[in-house]
Amino acid sequence: MGAKRPQRRRSSVSKASRKRNKAMIERSLDLLNNHALTFRNELKAHSESNKRDKDPCLQLENCTEQVINEETEDSSYTEQRIEDAIAEFSLLKCPQ
């Protein structure tokens, strides 16, 4: 007699459910990526506006006669801080 083939175990999740779950996960990831991109763009815009606001030459017409003190502490967002914020944002769990 020939050897019997091992029977494949049936999955408890239907193929349609797996497909639906996969699509839902992909949509959630797309939404999260869009939110992260929007968040990054808003942080960059905020950083650029802070730099413009802090630069007295952009606000004064005659800068040559003004004494400009440079701030030692830069509170604007650096590229690394933006990347850190994006990484932290991407770790947040979506509400179920």
- Report d(CA 27, CA 21) in Å as an integer: 10
pLDDT at 54: 66
pLDDT at 79: 73
Per-domain residue ranges for the chain?
Answer: 17-69+77-91
Q: Per the structure block, which two tokens stand in for 2?
A: 């020939």
pTM: 0.39
Which amino acid is present at 59? Q
CA end-to-end span of the chain, whole Å? 54
pLDDT tens-digit profile, the chain (96 residues) = 566 766 777 778 788 888 999 999 999 988 888 888 898 888 888 888 777 666 555 555 444 444 443 433 444 556 777 777 777 776 765 554
pLDDT at 96: 47
Q: Give DSSP secondary structure letters for 45-71.
A: HHHHHHHHHH-HHHH-S-GGGS--PPP
